[in-house]
Structure 1
Amino acid sequence: MRKILVMFVMAVVVAAAVFAAGCTGDGKDNAGSTGLKELNFGYQPSTHQIAYMTAMNKGWWEEVIEPYGYTTDPDKNEIQFPTGAPEMQAMLAGEIDVAYVGAAPVISALSTGLEAKIVAAVQTQGSALVLQPDIEYNSPEDLKGLTIATFPAGTIQDTILREWLAENNITVGENTDAGEVDVLPMGPGDAITAMTAKQIDGTFLPSPSPTTLVEEGNGKIVVWSGTMKPNHPCCVLLVSDRLIEENPDLVTALVKTHIKATGYNLANPDEAAHIYANYTKNTYEIASESIANWDGSWVSDPNLIVDGVMDYVSVQKELGYIDNTLTQDQIFDLSFYEKATSA
């Protein structure tokens, strides 16, 4: 009888300890133990998307989503992508719920079945054409015979570069295809490496890559994207339709947090540069110089970019990247920004 009683008491003590651990644990290491769902983010290591990094760095994402039954951990719930094309493939596969990504690859993905909506703007302009230091440039005509690396087909940079070259009556080829300018698809790391090795003549990349090339003596900026296409949209905040349907209040909270982070970066550009440097492989000096000298702007209001994004639809149709024209309602849901700013 005594042995049975001792065993019963020990079982009660162990059960109490387990219960206490379950009640006091923070749940961040194992979302399943708290019943919280994991929210997965996608982003790119560009100064265009520092709003995402600032919100994660300061714990704002975790703070705002937990009341809605979600958690996120940068060690396992964020995925960094070199460009928007693979990021949209990941979203199509259901691997990410929220994406900081260029508007153009969103259009390409939506046309192939992605179910998601742009709920906020992130940034405009901010990419640059960089040529080898010894190449003379006075006009687009000087690009004839050159090889330029940019992001893959369907991305912002690819779309803008091809449209601009066409407007200047310059034909584009790829590798062995005939063209006055060869355009090669590359991520930022590969493009910078190829430029440094003088394997290509130029790049058209988002910041801070142009500044990196200039500061390292491997290039000179000759045209900013805002000159090619004034006030053009670039990055956006994209949310899956599934998340919108399951938890629209959470989506409003995400947009509020993005607005907060954008405003913080605008008011504190030096700290934004430090956050970016700590989040990526770039130095603070490169980040700070890029933010000070780019032609881009951090924004959040999606109404500012609707016309520009719809123009991308027309351009991508002309380039053969999409088969069907998308409507504004198929691309945007402006209601979340309205709710986020009305409270």
Structure 2
Amino acid sequence: MNHRRQTLLALAFAAAIAFHALPARAQAKPLRVGWVFAMANAPAVIAEQKRFFADEGLNVEIKSFGDGPVLQQALAAGELDVAYVGAPPVYQWFSRGLDARILAKVNHGQAAIISQASAPIRTVADLRGKRLASVAKGSGMDVLLRGFVLKDQARLDPEKDLDILPMPPANMNAALDRNVADAAFLWEPFVSQALLRGNSRLVLDLNQALPQYPWYVVMAPSSTLKERGGDVVKLLRAHHKAIAFLKDRPAESNQIIAQAFKLEAVQSPDGKAIAPEIIVQEARKRLGWSDQLEATDLRFIQRLMDYSLALGFIAKPLKVDQVVDQSYWLKANAGSVR
């Protein structure tokens, strides 16, 4: 009888433990992270593959998206908790009612204008009357192209002085080869692939014209910040570790990037095969990573907002402090901020 009673007590105790554990399991649902499939967002890849998310105790469900608009749809549908995406989409979505905040930086640089090697295009001003392959009108990169590159740098009217041909960036090099376009506004690794093949000329490196300009950012809807603020801090800590890894171990990180983005060797003008890791190494001349939003970064994001307003992509003025919240980054890096 005593043995039976002990067994029943043990079962009851186990059931009680299981019952009280249920809320904890419910709270351990994955943090859903979306990222635009671009080399500049390599920290998301590194953090996952090197288990920096897991080391922070995060259960992360990570998914890549072909572009910002598709990622936006997932955010609007409540399918994502955090995103690695360009700064312009964040404030554009904010202006249309998606309450979200930019939390940290991901990268600086990445974009360039290249032309056919034989084309008489040496400067951006030479694009007058030419055909420029670029991205969809109103996208984040289009804001940078129309506002800074064409208007500020070359005093060109993007609506009148040249033909802008929207197309996927993966098609732009082919458009140059087939004489569909005279030049292209694109980013890494497509820039480096074209330059290493020797059939294109670098016309403008944006990272030289705008040294270390920020582009991709880590952002989250306000609902995520309210409900899972602690997990956001952990994610930003893992993000910081990934960027340190990219800087401290370039050879290994170049291999991870080459594999993650399925880069293939390209053929140089002398017929030699150039390995995927060399493409990444070349891309680093125009691309780098950092997570802290500096004062210069905030001024640049404000500049992008002003371009978007002038171009008619947002309906009313915005201030950068409306969409940036660095408090979570500061918590993640407490004691390490320089």
In structure 2, distance between residues paired with 1:92 and 1:191:
30
Pick closer, same or farther for the CA change 1:64–1:192 going to 2, 3 Å.
farther
Q: How does 1:1-343 map to 2 (within 5 A)?
A: 35=26, 36-66=28-58, 71-73=59-61, 77-81=62-66, 83-163=67-147, 164-167=149-152, 168-173=154-159, 179-282=160-263, 283-291=276-284, 293-294=285-286, 296-304=287-295, 305-343=297-335
Judging changes above 3 Å, is the alpha-carbon distance between structure 1 residues 87 and 194 closer, same or farther for their aligned structure 2 residues? farther
- In structure 1, distance between residues paired with 2:36 and 2:331: 27
**Shift in Å, 1:65:** 4.5
Q: How far off its partner does 1:210 sit? A: 0.4
User: TM-score by structure 2 length?
Assistant: 0.81
- How far apart in 2 are the matches of 1:301 and 1:287? 23
Assess if the C-alpha contact under 8 Å between 2:68 and 2:86 holds in 1.
Answer: yes
Counterparts of 1:286 and 1:329, CA distance in 2: 37
Distance 1:44 1:188 in 2: 13
Q: After superposition, give the CA deviation of every residue in 1:84-107 in whole Å (9 maximum; x if it has no partner).
A: 233223322222221111111222
**Counterpart Cα distance in 2 of 1:138 and 1:253:** 46
Per mean C-alpha deviation after superposition, the further-off stretch among 182-191 and 262-271 is 182-191
122 and 186 in structure 1: CA distance in 2 versus 1, 3 angstrom threshold? same
Could you list the per-position Cα deviations for residues 232-265 of structure 1 after superposition, in whole angstroms to 9, with x for gaps in the alignment?
2211111121110002111111111111111110
Q: Secondary structure at the match of 1:247?
A: helix
Shift of 1:120: 0.4
Decide whether the 8 Å contact of 2:83 with 2:220 is kept in 1. Answer: yes
Does the Cα contact within 8 Å between 2:36 and 2:65 map onto a contact in 1? yes
Aligned length: 301
Consecutive unaligned residues of structure 1, counting only runs of 5 or more, are 1-15, 24-33, 174-178
Return closer, same or farther for 1:140/1:303 CA change in 2, 3 Å cut-off.
closer
Equivalent residue of 1:184, what SS? strand
Deviation at 1:156? 3.7
Whole-Å separation in 1 of the counterparts to 2:253 and 2:224: 29
1:139–1:191 CA distance, 2 compared to 1 (3 A): closer
Q: 1:216 to 1:96 in 2, by over 3 A?
A: farther
Partner of 2:314: helix, strand, or coil? coil
Using the alignment, how far apart are the partners of 1:65 and 1:146 within structure 2? 53
CA contact (8 A) 1:85 1:154 kept: no
State percent identity of aligned pairs.
Answer: 26
* One-letter code aligned to 2:155: N
Q: In structure 1, what residue type is equivalent to 2:100? A: A
Residue type of the alignment partner of 1:237 = V
Residue in 1 that maps onto 2:269: none
Tell me which amino acid in the other structure corresponds to 1:131: S
Distance (Å, rounded) in 2 between the aligned partners of 1:215 and 1:199: 21
CA RMSD, Structure 1 to Structure 2 (Å): 2.5
What is residue 8 of structure 1 aligned with on the other side? Answer: none
Letter in 2 for 1:300: D
Q: Distance in 2 between matches of 1:308 and 1:120?
A: 14
The Cα shift of 1:298 comes to: 1.1
Give, in whole Å, the separation in 2 of the partners of 1:297 and 1:146: 31
AA matched with 1:170: L
- Unaligned stretches of 5+ residues in structure 2: 1-10, 19-24, 264-275
CA separation in 1, counterparts of 2:209 and 2:254?
26
1:223: Cα distance to partner? 0.6
SS of alignment partner, residue 302 of structure 1: coil
CA 1:89/1:184 → structure 2, altered by over 3 Å: closer, same or farther? Answer: farther
Counterpart for residue 267 of structure 2: none
Greater alpha carbon shift after TM alignment, 163-172 vs 115-124: 163-172
CA distance in 1, matches of 2:318, 2:236: 23
- 1 CA distance for matches of 2:195 and 2:216? 23
Q: Is the 8 A contact 1:102 1:155 kept in 2?
A: no
